[in-house]
Amino acid sequence: MTNLSYIQQHDKAWLTFLEQIDRVSPFLEDLKEHIDILRRPKRVLIVDVPIVMDDGSIRHFEGYRVQHSLTRGPGKGGIRYHPNVDLNEVMALSAWMTIKTAVLNLPFGGAKGGVRVDPKSLSPRELERLTRRYTSEIAHIIGPQKDIPAPDVGTNQNVMGWIMDTYSSGQGHTVTGVVTGKPVHLGGSLGRIKATGRGVYITGCAIAKKINLPILGAKIAVQGLGNVGGEAARLFQEAGAIITSIQDHTGTIHHPEGIDIPKLLDYLQHAAGVAGFEGAQVISNDDFWTTDMDIFIPAALEGQITVERAQNIKAKLILEGANGPTYIEADDILTQRNIIVVPDVVCNSGGVTVSYFEWVQDMASFFWSEEEINQRLDKLMVQVVDDVWNMANQHLCSLRTAAYILACRRILTARKERGVFPG
């Protein structure tokens, strides 16, 4: 993907969210008078992040933290390190987090952060310096009762540990609840790393059951084999599905009888991507979109399902493991073709759900077993699928529109009942 196409996707991200809000407006009745609050982020912070490089030079990076809505509780959302991070993208991601936490009925609002940097170009010490300086620049607007960051593209549990330590140093005591997705021995939760992928699997199975699509023998294509796509693929394969095609930034591989996911995940521990894996055939990236599949899991970056791809894709069910992978126009085509899409705000919400569990555990200083975490996660994910499915049947609309109806009603009801200060 060229930098230009990546930036163009970001330019559309915020516009996509605004159009999603416009589409749900007719279903909100008297709450429509409050809908403008969703079209405007509550707070936008742009910061300069200067760091001393290993060679002694000083470089400056641009960082962001956007709090889209704090109506239902503190902000919640990841921090992304990527060379093409921009404000448009971060605004859209924060807004989708607002919807996601509301559809799950978690006591959070939506937020997102990022730094425009290629983390792979930094040494470990430079990455730590960047993280600590960025944390110091946004420290006044984050906190366990204000805004709770988490890992995202280009960040991980180690980065969260540095954020927690830097923030705690400024407070004079350890504040484990300032971030989620931390190492377990720093107050992190068991099951957090695999939670998003598990959520994709649980919601996928729940919807497949409703549309009479057997998981046993189902052909599945996956785009992106990181924490999300990898765990979802592993769980579906264990349930008897056949993972036939996988695409990542290095290329596309295909095997009609199924790719051995455990072997591939082991291979990726030491390889740059899937393209060199010997247990499958390399095919072109374009051919990936027309392979035989029953279920498609986009688990990479936003803006992957274009109009052309939506016209040709053969899946019966699409599980959005990534944020914003489907363009609005493409979404309409999928609906016309009777392809069921489980939207990102439902499908990939396992991560924020276990982040909520982590936050609760940190606040109480009482921790649960991984089995307890998974039981709570599975129960909540099945419930949200039922809620959204019933809403879609009630209004004869797509699952995405149904999710937005449910979420926007909760957000705007809370806003209405809080009132506007000063009155």
> Token match 């969260």: residue?
160
Contact predicate 347/320, CB 8 Å: yes
**For residue 75, what are the β-bridge partners?**
147
Both structure tokens of 199: 């959520």
How many CA atoms does the CB half-sphere of 77 hold within 13 Å?
A: 33
Cα 60 vs. chain centroid, distance in angstroms?
27
Q: Count CB-CB contacts under 10 A for residue 356.
A: 24
Question: Which H or E element spans position 150?
Answer: strand 147-151
Closest-CA residue to 85 (of 301, 274, 258) = 301
Q: Which of 100, 112, 194, 316 is catalytic?
A: 112
Instruction: Please calculate the CA angle 23-349-244 and round it to the nearest 5 degrees.
Output: 100
**DSSP assignment, residue 185?**
G
Question: Which H or E element spans position 242?
Answer: strand 242-248
Both structure tokens of 163: 């954020």
Instruction: Please calculate the CA angle 243-248-249 and round it to the nearest 5 degrees.
Output: 170
Both structure tokens of 63: 């960082």
Closest-CA residue to 220 (of 293, 152, 146) = 293
Q: Count CB-CB contacts under 10 A for residue 336.
A: 10
Catalytic, 42? Answer no
Asked, as a colleague might, if the bond just before 422 is cis with ω within 30 of 0, I would say yes
Residue 221, SS3 per DSSP: strand
b/e code 303-314 from CB counts within 10 Å (16+ = b) = bbbbeebbeebe
How many CA atoms does the CB half-sphere of 203 hold within 13 Å?
A: 34
Active site residues: 112
